[in-house]
Amino acid sequence: MTSDFLAGLGFGAAQMLGETEGIYIGYNLDTGRNVYLKPSLAAQGVKGSVTNALAAAFLGSLGGGKSFSNNLLVYYAVLFGGQAVIVDPKSERGRWKETLPDIAEEINIINLTREERNKGLLDPYVIMKQTKDAESLAIDILTFLTGISSRDGEKFPTLRKAIRQVTQSNRRGLLRVIDVLYKENTPVARGIADHIDSIKDSNLGHLLFSDGTALQSISLDKQLNIIQVADLVLPDAETAFKDYTTVELLSVAILMVISTFALDFIHSDRSVFKIVDLDEAWSFLQVAQGKTLSNKLVRAGRAMNAGVYFVTQNADDLLDEKMKNNIGLVRNVA
């Protein structure tokens, strides 16, 4: 056995925390030694690694410093040559170009506002490159917004058929799904169309619904990309899904679209360490579509040298043990 393993058998006889070099994140109160972290080391086949999971969780109460700790790690990871996408639902990072002048040229801040020029930019058929991925995301978003389950033997097949028809047409967009449902002219189809139609005109709805003419204009080519959506209204962590308001449903749906878009970013150059940073992750971890998406991101990240960072309030937000076992780093902030 190795000497460090033997020493570790005696509780308190040895302390091993962090790496010998990397990003400085603090110091050990007992030994006074600096603690460094290399978030890209996991899943690199390093001998003696404790974990091979690149995903990380930042846990703590409201105002406890989760975002600051998370921001620090992402910033230095970029300085070390990595790439990052931060999903910023609170729009707190809008001044990073001014406050971080050393890397200002590599910061790309994408502001999605109510302006007409942003209409339909987050429509699945606009933001996703592959038609198959767009169709899958369209199903997830519309079933989430309408509450239609795949177990509903009447409504789900009707909605699924309309989405497939739009996918196979020349003009693709969620507004076209409404048109197809109205043309079918059955009571079930009209009911679903009316439901979706009432949602699309709500606050933030303009970002998700395109008539098929909007063009993809969101680029993630810079080293540090920040996606902000103004006026998101996220539900409280204690709010049950059935009690979400329309604007809260739309806000969570927007986060789901942006996070799915990040999958394309994850599948870019594997030789470069990448981070997908999900602030306020609890908001969509508590819904079925968000859970599925989170597991997808973590699995893809492990294969493509990308860490998915969940910034949330407590460990219970991280779903089941299968999800928790894929978290290689947990940073508790008191």
> What confidence score (pLDDT) does residue 96 get?
93
Please tell me whether residues 172 and 154 are part of one structural domain. yes
Are both 3 and 142 inside the same structural domain? no
Burial tier of 151 (Cβ tally within 10 Å: 0-12, 13-18, 19+): exposed
Q: What is the pLDDT of residue 319?
A: 62
Q: What are phi and psi of 274, to 5 degrees?
A: -125, 155
The pLDDT assigned to 91 comes to 84
Reference 229, options 209, 208, 212; nearest CA is: 208
In this structure, are strands 23-27 and 34-37 parallel, antiparallel, or unpaired? antiparallel
**Tens digit of each residue's pLDDT (9 = 90 or more) over 314-330:** 777 676 666 666 676 66
pLDDT reported for residue 28: 79
Single out the residue of 175, 244, 163, 236 nearest to residue 205, CA to CA. Answer: 175
238 and 93, same domain (yes or no): yes
Other C-beta atoms lying within 10 Å of the C-beta of residue 246: 15
> Do 240 and 111 share a domain, yes or no?
yes
213 falls within a domain: no
pLDDT of amino acid 113: 81
Q: Tell me the residue range of the domain where 255 lies.
A: 52-117+219-333
pLDDT for 329: 65
Report d(CA 93, CA 266) in Å as an integer: 22
Verify that 295 and 232 share a domain, yes or no: yes
Claim to verify: residue 110 and residue 142 sit in the same structural domain: no
pLDDT < 70 positions in the chain: 1-18, 42-52, 237, 317, 319-326, 328-334
Q: Which amino acid is at 290?
A: G
139 lies in the same domain as 190: yes
Q: What is the pLDDT of residues 132-155, one digit of tens each?
A: 999 999 999 999 999 999 899 899
Q: Would you state the pLDDT for residue 47?
A: 58
Please tell me the distance from the alpha carbon of residue 208 to that of residue 257, in angstroms, as a whole number: 9
Question: DSSP characters for 49-86?
Answer: -S----EEEEEE-TTSSHHHHHHHHHHHHHHTT-EEEE
Q: Give the pLDDT confidence score for residue 8 in this predicted structure.
A: 59
pLDDT in the model for residue 142: 95
Residue 225 lies in a domain: yes
Predicted TM-score (pTM) of the model is 0.78
- Other CB atoms within a 10 A radius of the CB of residue 288 amount to 13
Q: How many separate domains does the chain show?
A: 3
The confidence score (pLDDT) of residue 44 equals 60
DSSP structural state of residue 308: E
Looking at the structure, do residues 113 and 161 belong to the same domain, yes or no? no
Query: Measured between alpha carbons, how far is residue 121 from residues 113, 191, 239, 272 in Å?
Result: 10, 26, 28, 27
- Exposure b/e, 257-282, CB count within 10 A at least 16 = b: bbbbbbbebbeeeeeebbbbbbbbbb
